[in-house]
């Protein structure tokens, strides 16, 4: 819990001119009957909370309060919950635990939010506003940082307009904090990558003509579960033939055929941290001459960007193209006349989100974790190729966390053959 406490202290220190009566507001997220609950990344990052429907307030002094739903039935019977575990709240550093408001029906907080179900929280926020305090929130939907919080706070604002007038967005501050990973985060990411590597090995073992894309996906996700990853960090992509030219193909119905390639782009989530690795395999076990030509060009582009990846470089920055990994990979592909088939960026940050927060126009620093993933997609030939690895930036350059996953042509063919 010291890790979370240190992050909260760092956040408070990083918010310029925070006043004594200001409150940081975090929301852990809504539940859905269609998926298992995953807490809001920022709420987890700062508190370790894993329960749904919880509102957390943090004062400049460090005092932290939790507001939990007053469930209408015994939640523990249905879902289990820390909401009734006073010892856990104390251990986690919460100074008090309160109910959001009056009883709600059912065992989860849903929308639209009714005033009576959050009346206690509203009273607390109104008191802060009446004393001249601001409500420091995550208000940036487009940054993939606080979508559910944005929705929740918008619902509160509909109940009381004075609250909305006191919102102050601290998304940029938290984004910059999360861009640089601490030691605990690095360890979780390394484990997520290890499990993702195991999933890729499972895919290579499963691939054969006549098998459907979804069957390969099943082998991958079974491997994730066996290695302790309870969920994927994003919907698994297994795309063969022309499907591989659709960047996020997920339907999974096409049958693998001799002579085709299959892109496997998957990620395991461990401790809420995301792996994200892509390999391209020949269904028959052997690349054709044309496939080798294209694959080699993509691999050379990845290696060029990887070699250049040092502190001070950028993931993508058109104004600093000589220091941009994207433009370095693009230049490599242009030597083979393939630049027009490179349809996406060379990489992105990874962390609590598979496309993690952080400004890619900021130079890479020690502690940044990111992908390098060039690709070419040629629908007329029914060929898509992508090679993606995960990296940790150090003072001496980038370390490939996924080095245990082969990427050379001969090694890929050997995996399929074995």
* pLDDT for res 106: 75
| pTM for the full predicted model | 0.94
pLDDT at 250 over 70: yes
In angstroms, the Cα distances linking 345 to 75, 106, 139, 384 are 44, 44, 26, 15
Structure tokens at 243: 């499907």
Q: What are the strands, taking DSSP E only, across 105-147? A: 135-137
Lookup result for tokens 């009381």: 160
User: Packing angle between helix 147-159 and helix 119-130, nearest 10 degrees?
Assistant: 80
Grade residue 92 by pLDDT with cuts at 50, 70 and 90.
confident
Give me the chain's average pLDDT, please.
93
Mean pLDDT of 40-67: 94
* pLDDT for res 331: 98
Q: CA-CA distance, 23 to 53, in Å (whole number)?
A: 18
355 touches 379 (CB < 8 A): no
pLDDT at 292 over 60: yes
Most confidently modeled range among 75-79, 147-151, 279-283: 279-283
Nearest CA among 267, 230, 273, 359 for reference residue 41? 273
pLDDT tens readout for residues 98-150: 999 998 877 788 888 899 999 999 999 999 999 999 999 987 555 556 678 88
163 touches 126 (CB < 8 A): yes
Mean pLDDT of 34-46: 91
pLDDT tens readout for residues 333-379: 999 999 999 999 999 999 999 999 999 999 999 999 999 999 999 99
Lowest mean pLDDT among 13-27, 103-117, 289-303: 103-117
* pLDDT for res 76: 66
Contacts 24+ apart (CB under 8 A), 12-18: 12/58, 12/60, 12/62, 14/173, 14/176, 14/177, 15/136, 15/170, 15/173, 18/60, 18/136
Mean pLDDT of 296-312: 98
* pLDDT for res 344: 96
pLDDT tens readout for residues 159-190: 988 888 888 989 999 999 999 999 999 999 99
Map out the domains of the chain with their CATH numbers. Answer: 2-178 (3.40.350.10), 183-417 (3.90.230.10)
Nearest CA among 41, 20, 12, 19 for reference residue 29? 41
pLDDT at 327 over 70: yes
Share of the chain above pLDDT 70, in %: 95
* pLDDT for res 162: 84
Structure tokens at 205: 């073992």
For residue 247, the 8-state DSSP code is T
* pLDDT for res 107: 76
């Amino acid at each position: 819990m010291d890790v979370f406490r240190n992050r909260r202290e760092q956040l408070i220190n990083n918010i310029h001119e925070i006043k004594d009566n200001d409150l940081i507001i975090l929301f852990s997220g809504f539940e859905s009957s269609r998926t298992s609950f995953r807490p809001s990344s920022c709420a987890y990052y700062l508190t370790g909370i894993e329960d749904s429907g919880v509102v957390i307030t943090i004062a400049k002094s460090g005092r932290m309060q939790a507001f939990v739903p007053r469930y209408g039935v015994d939640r523990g019977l249905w879902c289990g919950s820390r909401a009734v575990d006073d010892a856990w709240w104390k251990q986690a550093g919460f100074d008090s635990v309160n109910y959001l408001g009056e009883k709600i029906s059912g065992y989860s907080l849903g929308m639209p939010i009714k005033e009576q179900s959050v009346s206690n929280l509203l009273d607390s926020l109104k008191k802060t506003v009446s004393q001249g305090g601001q409500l420091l929130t995550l208000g940036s939907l487009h940054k993939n940082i606080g979508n559910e919080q944005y929705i929740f706070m918008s619902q509160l604002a509909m109940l009381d307009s004075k609250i909305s007038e006191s919102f102050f967005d601290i998304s940029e501050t938290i984004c910059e904090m999360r861009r640089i990973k601490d030691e605990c985060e690095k360890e979780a990411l390394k484990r997520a990558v290890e499990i993702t590597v195991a999933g890729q090995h499972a895919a290579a073992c499963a691939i054969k003509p006549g098998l459907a894309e979804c069957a390969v996906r099943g082998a991958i996700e079974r491997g994730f579960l066996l290695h302790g990853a309870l969920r994927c960090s994003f919907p698994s992509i297994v795309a063969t033939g022309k499907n591989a030219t659709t960047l996020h193909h997920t339907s999974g119905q096409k049958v693998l055929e001799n002579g085709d390639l299959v892109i496997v782009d998957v990620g395991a989530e461990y401790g809420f941290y995301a792996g994200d690795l892509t390999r391209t395999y020949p269904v028959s076990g052997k690349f054709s001459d044309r496939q080798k030509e294209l694959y080699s060009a993509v691999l050379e582009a990845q290696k060029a960007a990887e070699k250049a990846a040092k502190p001070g470089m950028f993931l993508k920055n058109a104004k600093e193209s000589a220091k941009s990994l994207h433009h370095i990979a693009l230049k490599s592909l242009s030597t083979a006349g393939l630049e027009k088939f490179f349809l996406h960026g060379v990489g992105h940050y990874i962390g609590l989100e598979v496309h993690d927060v952080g400004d890619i126009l900021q130079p890479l620093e020690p502690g940044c974790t990111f992908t390098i993933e060039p690709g070419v997609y040629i629908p007329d030939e029914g060929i898509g190729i992508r090679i993606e690895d995960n990296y940790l930036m150090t003072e001496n350059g980038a370390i490939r966390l996924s080095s245990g996953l082969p990427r050379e042509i001969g090694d890929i063919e050997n995996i399929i053959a074995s």
